[in-house]
Amino acid sequence: MKTRILGWIYGQMRSSYYKRRYDFFKKKYNINSDFGFYGTDIRIYGDGTDIKLGNNSYIGSMSTIQLTKGVKVVIGDNCQISHNVRMYTSSADPNQDFRVQKVLPPKLGNIIIGDGVWIGANVFINPGINIGDNSVVGANSVVTKNIESNCIYGGVPAIKMREKMK
């Protein structure tokens, strides 16, 4: 009985913490009130502030949005972003010799996700990516190039599987 009560108290405190955290994100980044943070451990971080999260959209547990100063993240309306999705607006330039001191500046780029997009679990989205309206990115994909509208992509790297039936 004592364990059950302590578990209930812990659950209430945890829920309260995440509600306050996500309310803070909504206020700090001017996020629509109906954008959903579904789950725990969702992070928005970095020195940038240019983010627009659409109406009737959501992001799942353990997902991360990195904001770099000078670039933006836009998520359209009616988007479903599953858990453990990573969106990065800055990344090391792979075209360098990492055995010596880094000399190349990081690769920066906007991430623009259109309306009605479904992104599966464990997807990694690189800087400078545009995902077209009404597209699907399959679970466990790595998005390295722009994704066309009305298509299904998947894999590592993500490739076009087929166009969606209309």
pLDDT in tens, 36-66: 999 999 999 999 989 999 999 999 999 999 9
To which residue do tokens 């309310």 refer? 23
pLDDT confidence of residue 159: 97
The DSSP call for residue 76 is -
* pTM (two decimals): 0.90
CATH class of 2-163: mainly beta
pLDDT confidence of residue 68: 95
- The answer to whether the CB of 127 falls within 8 A of the CB of 111 is yes
pLDDT confidence of residue 166: 64
Handedness of CA 62, 31, 44, 158 (dihedral sign): positive
Question: Where are the chain's structural domains?
Answer: 2-163
> Which residues of the chain register pLDDT less than 70?
102, 166
pLDDT confidence of residue 97: 83
Q: Determine the 3-state secondary structure of 94 from DSSP.
A: coil
By residue count, the chain amounts to 166
Burial class (CB in 10 A: 0-12, 13-18, 19+), 87: buried
| DSSP output for 12-28 | HHHHHHHHHHHHHHHHH
pLDDT confidence of residue 1: 73
